[in-house]
């Protein structure tokens, strides 16, 4: 039944086949998307007409590759900007939250902790509509009371960043709290005894210790933001992020350019994720 017990051949083969089918199911769509990005065809489908890189670097007129496709390139840039903003914001607030819940004692701490977890379990669609309605009401209120029409308070990239940061900050905070829990507080006491103040202790000791998890929290925030769709959908203005732009193209059937974008994304995501994995291994080993 388990590896230390004797198992029949049939049992082992049965499980092997199950795992095989499982992995085919898991990888089939990704493999297909990747292969068809290099097919010399006008449609993302078989038959195979031969290998080409046109869907990445083709200049047209028939096949305009990804790098000459302004819609997708702009969407990628927009997504990068949003993801960068969200990771900066979320990492700062998330680090503060980690210190707050791990090192400070205050009234209603349990309540605030639950409140901090909540954005993670609320569906993304609801985060989107709540942010949209709140900001809209705020804008109306401002215009009525002071007579200022604040452009910031209408759908756009800033709003997308705020909406995404609502739940991404929770993820960052949890990543950092996990590491802060393993921190040996006597190191701080030692620094206090040697005459350091609170700020110096945090700056020179605790933050140094936390650095791997802060970087990994920022990476998580970047990835979550870059691929977020449900919350972004309601907050987007005239500039779509990549998932929004891709969604529209895929709904209409998709072209091999979508496959090329996918391959590029898979490549970059894997690098970030592998780097993150390497960092977390390294910090655990210490």
Q: Report 95-114 residues binding other proteins (CB under 8 A).
A: 96-97, 99-100, 103-107, 112
**By CB under 8 A, residue 26 contacts other proteins:** yes
Nearer to other proteins, 77 or 122 (CB): 122
Among 33, 160, 218, 260, binds other proteins (CB under 8 A): 33
Over its C-alpha atoms, the chain yields an Rg (Å, rounded) of 24
Q: How far is CA 56 from CA 44, 62, 265, 266, in A?
A: 14, 13, 13, 14
Nearer to other proteins, 166 or 213 (CB): 166
**By CB under 8 A, residue 284 contacts other proteins:** no
Nearer to other proteins, 60 or 275 (CB): 275
Among 66, 157, 160, 165, binds other proteins (CB under 8 A): 165
Among 215, 247, 279, 283, binds other proteins (CB under 8 A): 247
Among 41, 154, 230, 255, binds other proteins (CB under 8 A): 230
Among 239, 266, 279, 280, binds other proteins (CB under 8 A): 266
Whole-number Å distance between alpha carbons of 269 and 263: 10
**CB of 149: closest distance to other proteins in angstroms?**
19
**By CB under 8 A, residue 71 contacts other proteins:** no
**By CB under 8 A, residue 80 contacts other proteins:** no
Phi, psi of 39 (to 5 degrees): -85, 135
Interacting residues of 214 by C-beta distance below 8 A, sequence separation 6+: 91, 95, 176, 207
**By CB under 8 A, residue 278 contacts other proteins:** no
Whole-number Å distance between alpha carbons of 216 and 20: 32
Please calculate the CA angle 164-169-174 and round it to the nearest 5 degrees. Answer: 140
Among 69, 72, 78, 131, binds other proteins (CB under 8 A): 131
**By CB under 8 A, residue 285 contacts other proteins:** no
Counting every residue, how long is the chain?
286
Q: How far is CA 266 from CA 38, 105, 263, in A?
A: 15, 43, 5
State which of positions 177-216 bind other proteins (CB under 8 A): 198, 202
Whole-number Å distance between alpha carbons of 254 and 123: 27
């Amino acid at each position: 039944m388990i590896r230390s017990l004797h198992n029949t051949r049939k049992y082992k083969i049965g499980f092997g086949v199950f795992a095989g089918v499982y992995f085919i199911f898991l990888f089939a769509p990704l493999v297909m998307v990747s292969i068809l990005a290099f097919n010399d065809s006008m449609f993302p489908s078989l038959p195979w007409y031969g290998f080409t890189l046109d869907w990445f670097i083709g200049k047209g007129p028939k096949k305009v590759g990804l790098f000459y496709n302004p819609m997708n390139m702009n969407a990628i840039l927009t997504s990068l900007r949003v993801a960068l903003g969200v990771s900066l914001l979320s990492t700062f607030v998330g680090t503060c939250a980690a210190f707050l819940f791990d090192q400070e004692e205050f009234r209603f701490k349990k309540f605030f902790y639950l409140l901090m977890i909540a954005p993670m379990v609320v569906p993304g669609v609801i985060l989107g509509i709540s942010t949209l309605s709140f900001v809209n009401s705020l804008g109306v209120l401002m215009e009525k009371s002071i007579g200022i029409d604040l452009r910031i308070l209408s759908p756009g990239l800033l709003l997308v960043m705020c909406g995404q940061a609502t739940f991404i900050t929770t993820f960052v905070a949890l990543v950092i709290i996990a590491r802060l829990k393993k921190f040996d507080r006597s190191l701080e006491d030692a620094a206090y005894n040697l005459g350091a103040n609170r700020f110096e202790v945090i700056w020179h000791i605790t933050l140094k210790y936390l650095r791997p998890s802060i970087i990994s929290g920022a990476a998580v925030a970047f990835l979550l933001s870059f691929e977020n769709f449900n919350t972004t959908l309601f907050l987007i203005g005239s500039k779509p992020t990549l998932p929004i732009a891709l969604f529209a193209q895929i709904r209409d059937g998709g072209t091999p350019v979508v496959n090329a974008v996918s391959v590029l994304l898979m490549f970059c995501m894997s690098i970030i994720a592998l780097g993150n994995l390497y960092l977390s291994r390294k910090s655990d080993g210490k």
